[in-house]
Structure 1
Amino acid sequence: MTIGARVLKTGLAVALAIYLSELFGFPSPIISSIAAISIQPSISRSWQNTVDQLQTNVLGAILGLAAIKLFGQTAISVGLVCIIVIMICIKLRMEATIALTLVTVVVIMESDGQGWWFAAERFFQVLTGMGAAFAVNLLIFPPRPRKQFNDQVHEAFDELSLLLRMAISNELKEDVHRKEKEKLVGTLRKLEERYTLFEEERSLLPSRRQARARQLLISKQHIKALQQGADLLEAVEEHYFAAPEAGKWAKQFDDQIEDLTKYHEQILLKLEGKLKNGASFEPPEEREARLAMQLTEYLIQDPDERKRLVFVGSAVFEYAFHLRRLERLADQVMQRDAEGAERGAD
């Protein structure tokens, strides 16, 4: 079991919140500590969470004090204010702030009517905890969505490559295949989440915003290509082995998938700058055209029984299409980045 960065930073944020509570002379560090348990997976989300928490906690404090003045300090009034706060947070799409805002409401309404100064002190405790969390997230192992995204792209490709290369030959043990496929599905899901974090990041400089927009475009195509590879794997498993005379097509499909898998790998290497300039590795489209023609002739002979292999062929062609699009985008992004570097040098 490994300790992730967010786990470590949460502990550090709580420790810092307690230290600051003692430094500022707060009667108890509990509220600050609870507020510090808000480490987010990106700086952008961390800042947005801080802003949202400030808004909803101010609102909760005002509603709590108003309820005490109007209805007094009763269990029913506390419950009603909590319901109202929850409804407002949901309406404002700030559901993540509900728990801490309710803590603020309950503490203020259970304060025996000590008034605005008590509410302000509790608010500053919340602010201290959120500030500690934001500072720790910003200064200690700050999230790097782009690097994390690229690492997960390689992880997803490694898992996909193994499964695709063994798909037609069906040489993997069933339990191994199942585990590897589950890993691939999980990695693709994490990749979508990582892309969302990457998309939320903001750049202040115009030049950086343009470079980031290009990276977002190619990142989206990375996901599309990997997902299409996973769809090809599904098509092979569902249709290839159920197709009549599938064995006669084994070498053609196996060679085609091997070429595309290698092509995918070389695109990733190209983006990392590990290939020689001018290296050409795109699979010949003539082979795909020949396979399409052969599948068409094969289908015409018996459309009802032989359409399964056409589904597999279609998935192969779709995977190839998105890989070529990925390479074109890679070339454009690398060219624009090189031009930007030259302008910066001048």
Structure 2
Amino acid sequence: MAFGARVLKTGIAITLALFLAGLLHMTPPVIAAVAAIFAVQPSIYRSWRYMWEQVQTNVLGAVLAMTAGLLFSKDPVAIGLVCVLIIAICLKLKMEETVGLTLVTVVAVMDAAGDWHFALNRFVLIMLGLGSAFLINILFFPPNPRKQFIAQIHSVFAKMSLLLRTVISNEVKEVVFREEKEELERSIQSIADKYRLFEEETKKLKRGKVSHIRQLIVYKQMLLALQKGAAVLDAVQQHYFQAVRSPETDTLYDEHLEKLLKYHEQVLLKFEEKLKPDIRLAPSGGKENDRFIDTMIERYTANPEGKVRLAIVAAAVYDYGYHVGRLDKLVGREMKEEAAGETGEPDGT
């Protein structure tokens, strides 16, 4: 977990849980604090789902623990067996995330050897911590996966752009290139995680509204375009420098990658409506990309010896250009749909 809003919210949730427990004279307040630590989630939907699942498994755990406590008192073996049973039930219900806090409830209740007042006190403390975390997650810096996703897209594109602009010319030191590439891969994985959060929240909380589904398609294509760009780096690293090539070939690849990156950048700016209306986007993802792959095919057909590796790289570059072009079309369609929605007119599609 990186230091950010979620870290701060965890601290505030702990403070609120401890304050409320003290205000209600409930002891020990540390149980409410532990519950609050577990409950701060990266999205509002996950916060609600986590709290609801915790309520279910904690009620079940408290009932089983009370029953076992009445029958077996504080017997360590009985406590261990009940914990195993609770873990099995949570796994069966696909509520793995609730296991830790539910076990806290089970052990605390069984330690009371069937005392109903004690068990109720522990259960209320845990619900107090969960409620505090849920409230803080909604009221303070509420999670905004969409905003975070778009910000990361630009940040990761900048990293990828630097690497793709220098990979053919081989200007960057190998150690630096490797470190930057590993960082890029981690960042793309982080974006993929953010996309899953946004997709989950959109489908569960917004009931699959058509406009939101269209947005999801655009965001998924943004992620895919970055993944295809990173795949070009892999192809170059594994095949390009081991192939027989001429300086002219280096120039051809370098110039086409430069055009694709400019095109990709323009599409992202177009999505955020930052381009002037009269700006024409470079057609690198369409006809220009087709011309590039046609040129490569002609060269490799005329002189195939030692060119298989270059063909692999050319295919990766073409695939990247294709997906940037597809992103351009999806962004254009989304903007058209939004404009039609604002004016109340049909878009003609």
How large is the RMSD of aligned CA atoms in angstroms? 1.9
* Partner of residue 71, structure 1: 72
* Partner of residue 183, structure 1: 183
Distance, in Å, in 2 between the alignment partners of 1:286 and 1:140 is 49
* Partner of residue 305, structure 1: 306
Cα offsets for 1:141-181 (capped at 9, x unmatched): 11111000000000110000000011111111222212211
Distance, in Å, in 2 between the alignment partners of 1:286 and 1:319 is 14
- Percent identity, please: 45
How big is the shift at 1:28? 1.6
After TM superposition, list the pairs within 5 Å mapping 1:138-287 onto structure 2: 138-202=138-202, 209-283=209-283, 285-287=286-288
How big is the shift at 1:282? 2.9
- Amino acid corresponding to residue 100 of structure 1 in structure 2: L
* Structure-2 change in CA distance of 1:64 and 1:162 (3 Å): same
8 Å contact from structure 1 (residues 5, 141) kept in 2: yes
* Structure-2 change in CA distance of 1:176 and 1:16 (3 Å): same
Distance, in Å, in 2 between the alignment partners of 1:200 and 1:263 is 30
- Amino acid corresponding to residue 196 of structure 1 in structure 2: R
How big is the shift at 1:307? 0.9
8 Å contact from structure 2 (residues 257, 317) kept in 1: yes
SS in structure 1 of the partner of residue 273 of structure 2: coil
- Amino acid corresponding to residue 214 of structure 2 in structure 1: R
How big is the shift at 1:30? 1.4
How many residues get paired?
341
Question: Runs of 5+ in structure 1 lacking a partner?
Answer: none
* Partner of residue 131, structure 2: 131
* Structure-2 change in CA distance of 1:204 and 1:82 (3 Å): closer
Question: Runs of 5+ in structure 2 lacking a partner?
Answer: none
- Amino acid corresponding to residue 104 of structure 2 in structure 1: V
SS in structure 2 of the partner of residue 305 of structure 1: coil
8 Å contact from structure 1 (residues 145, 194) kept in 2: yes
TM-score normalised according to structure 1 size: 0.93
* Partner of residue 113, structure 1: 114
SS in structure 1 of the partner of residue 130 of structure 2: helix
TM-score normalised according to structure 2 size: 0.93
SS in structure 2 of the partner of residue 326 of structure 1: helix
How big is the shift at 1:214? 1.4
Distance, in Å, in 2 between the alignment partners of 1:92 and 1:246 is 61
Distance, in Å, in 1 between the alignment partners of 2:205 and 2:58 is 29
Distance, in Å, in 1 between the alignment partners of 2:185 and 2:27 is 49
Cα offsets for 1:58-96 (capped at 9, x unmatched): 010011011123333311110000000011111111111
Distance, in Å, in 2 between the alignment partners of 1:243 and 1:316 is 16
* Partner of residue 342, structure 1: 343
* Structure-2 change in CA distance of 1:205 and 1:181 (3 Å): closer
How big is the shift at 1:292? 2.7
Distance, in Å, in 2 between the alignment partners of 1:261 and 1:270 is 14
How big is the shift at 1:99? 0.9
* Structure-2 change in CA distance of 1:66 and 1:339 (3 Å): same
8 Å contact from structure 2 (residues 256, 292) kept in 1: no
Distance, in Å, in 1 between the alignment partners of 2:205 and 2:159 is 36
Distance, in Å, in 2 between the alignment partners of 1:175 and 1:159 is 16
- Amino acid corresponding to residue 315 of structure 1 in structure 2: A
8 Å contact from structure 2 (residues 168, 250) kept in 1: yes
